[in-house]
Amino acid sequence: YRERYAARLAREHNLPVLVSGGLSADYGRALFVEEGVQEPQLSRDDQANDTLENFTTLLAELKQRQVRHLLLVTGVDHMPRASLVGRIVAGSRGIQVTPAPVDCAESCVWESPLKVAADGLRAMIWVVSGQDVKTLVLAWSRAEAPR
């Protein structure tokens, strides 16, 4: 659903599309082309493993493209966490994030407020340190481990 909605927004408003995560690269590209979004308008980033990385891995490209505002397209059930993380990470670089939620109907899997808050905290730590707290915790635990 979200890919088709993003394609419709891109087509109707002549917007570039930057896909991070989600569908496989080949299928995703074919879907966007089928929906009328052509190659020059479409790019993809497959570096991210989670929501925080969806934003942190894209910052250099967003800066290079001089992006100041982005539409965040994801399921309504994931939007609270994604928009919080996006507003913290992208917002720290002067990029405005506007949610563009997609209804997920029966397939919704709502995220807990604790998960939303935890990823918001991870995003804040990343903004301050440039590191994901997962990486920091792993480094600390290795340093503290008995030898």
Full residue range of the structural domain in which residue 29 is found: 2-144
Residue 103 confidence (pLDDT) above 80: yes
The CATH number assigned to the domain holding 100 equals: 3.40.50
The per-residue pLDDT for range 16-65, each reduced to its tens digit, is: 998 887 667 677 788 888 888 888 888 888 888 899 999 999 999 999 99
Q: Residue 17 in contact with residue 6, Cβ under 8 Å?
A: yes
Torsion angle, alpha carbons of 67, 46, 112, 90, to 10: -20
Assess whether pLDDT exceeds 80 at residue 133.
yes
42 in helix, strand or coil?
A: strand
Q: What is the pLDDT of residue 75?
A: 93
Number of compact structural domains in the chain:
1
**pLDDT-above-70 percentage for the chain:** 96
Tokens of residue 2, six digits:
């979200």
Does the structure show a pLDDT above 90 at 70?
yes
